[in-house]
Amino acid sequence: MFLSGKGKSTVGLDIGSSSIKLVKLDHGKDGYSVSAIGIRELPPDAIIGDEIRDREAVIFNIQSLIDQTDPKIKDVVVSVSGHSVITDRFTIDLKTGPEAEQAILFETEQRAPFDVDDVSLDYHIIKTDEDINKMDVLLVAARKEYLRTYLELIEDCGLKPTVVDDDAFAILNAYEANYEVDPTRVTALVNIGYDVTNVTYLAEGLFSATRDVSAGAREIFDAVQKEFRLNPELTSKALKGEMGDSIDQDMFKATIMSAADELISGIELAFSYFRSQTKIENIDWIVLSGGGALIPFLPEFLQSKINIPLELANPLRNVDYDPELFQFVQPEKIAPLLMVPVGLAMRKNK
C-alpha cells in the first residue's frame, strides 16, 4: 500500500464524511511542529460511510482547503477506513521473506470477506518470540477497486498520495507520539467520527486490536437538526455550542443523549467482544478523539454509561505550534478532532 515521495515535512489529509482536515507537520530534530492546518466541512451527503456520493463536491472542497492553507502542497499522506478495509492481528510460526508473505496471505484468505487477489496488503510484524518460534502480525487489507477510486480522486485534486495509511494506525501513532504508554494499563482509543467510530486497544504497551463501529455523530447531528428545525449549517453551529441560549439547553441535552444510544451500545458491544476475544477483563481507560469528543454532553454521558474513566485526547500535546495558525479557533479546543490528520502527518514520506 505504500507509494513514493520524499521530504522533511509531511501533510496529513483526512477525508472524513463530515469534514476534511489537513495538518502539515515539520519533522525537526527537536520534534514536530505544525506549519499548516485547515478544516473544511462537507455537505452532509457528499460522503456516506466509505462511499463518495458527490465526487465534485469532495474535489472542490479539498482544492479549496489546499488553497486556503498552503497552495504549494503536492504530496499528501491519506488514510482509508470502513468496510473496504480490514485490519487484524494474528500469531503465526516465525518465518521470514517470501515464506512469511505466503503464510500471511494464507491467513488473510481465511479472514477477508473478499478475494485476496482483489486486495492490496500491508503488514507489520508487531513482535517475534524466538523461544516459542512465533510472531504476531498486524494485517491491513484494502480492496484494490476501492483503493484505486480513492487514489484517483486525490490525484484529480492535483495531489500526490505518498503513503496510504489506515485510520486506526494514524490514531495509534498520534497517541504514542504524545503520551507515555503505560504497559500496565489497557487503553481503548475511541475516535468518534460522523459515520464510523474506530476503537483501537493497547495492552502491555502494544497495539492489541482494532474495530470499526458503524455508528458515529451523524445520528446526533440528524436528531438535533430535526428537533430544532435547523439547516445543516446551524446544526453544526449548535453542536459547536455557538447557538447559545437561542436553543433550549435542556432539550438540547436530552436530544443528544437519546440520539447517542446506538453509538454507545456499539462501543459497549465492541468492548465486550474485545474482552471475550482477548480474555482481558478490564479496559482501564478510554482516550476519546474525533469530532464526537467535542459534542456537548457526549463525553460525560459516554463515561457514565460505560463506567470507565475517560480522557480527551490531545494530539498536539508534544507538538509545537503557533496559535495564530488556527485563526478563529483555540487549538486546545479542537485538538481531539485532529487525531487522524496529526497521526498521518507524523509519517515519513516514502
**Contact set for ligand ATP, span 232-261 (CB under 6 A):** 236, 239-240
Does residue 196 interact with ligand ATP by CB under 6 A?
yes
Measured distance CA(291)–CA(336) in Å, rounded:
7
Q: Is 57 exposed, middle or buried (0-12, 13-18, 19+ CB in 10 A)?
A: middle
Q: Which residues contact 85 (CB under 8 A, 6 or more apart)?
A: 50, 140, 141, 142, 143, 146, 166
Stretch that binds ligand ATP, among 100-108, 158-166, 188-196, 304-312 (CB under 6 A): 188-196
Question: Does the protein bind ligand ATP through residue 223 (CB under 6 A)?
Answer: no
Rounded to a whole number of angstroms, the minimum distance from the CB of residue 327 to ligand ATP is 13
- Verify binding: residue 16, ligand ATP, rule CB under 6 A: yes
Find all residues with CB under 8 Å of 39, minimum gap 6, and list them: 19, 20, 21, 22, 65, 334, 337
Per CB under 5 A, the list member of 16, 161, 266, 343 interacting with Mg ion is 16
What gap in Å lies between CA 256 and CA 296, rounded to an integer?
8
Q: Which segment (67-75, 168-176, 193-201, 341-349) binds ligand ATP by CB under 6 A?
A: 193-201
List the one residue from 9, 19, 61, 87 that touches ligand ATP (CB under 6 A). Answer: 19
* Residues 294-313 interacting with ligand ATP (rule: CB under 6 A): 294-295
Residues in the chain: 350
Q: Is 216 in the site for ligand ATP (CB under 6 A)?
A: yes
* Using rule CB under 6 A, residue 338 touches ligand ATP: no
| Of the residues 36, 334, 338, 342, which one makes contact with ligand ATP according to CB under 6 A | 334
Q: Which element (helix H / strand E) includes 270? A: helix 261-278
For position 342 contacting ligand ATP by CB under 6 A, the verdict is: no
Residue 202 near ligand ATP by CB under 6 A: no
Q: Under the criterion CB under 6 A, does residue 345 sit at the interface with ligand ATP?
A: no
Q: CB 69 → Mg ion: shortest distance, Å?
A: 18
Take residue 346 and report the three cell numbers written for it. Answer: 507524523
Secondary structure, 3-state, 186-233: CEEEEEECCCCEEEEEEECCEEEEEEEECCCCHHHHHHHHHHCCCCHH
Specify the pairing of strand 9-15 against strand 75-80.
parallel
* Contact residues: ligand ATP, CB under 6 A: 16-19, 193-196, 216-217, 221, 236, 239-240, 290-292, 294-295, 334, 337
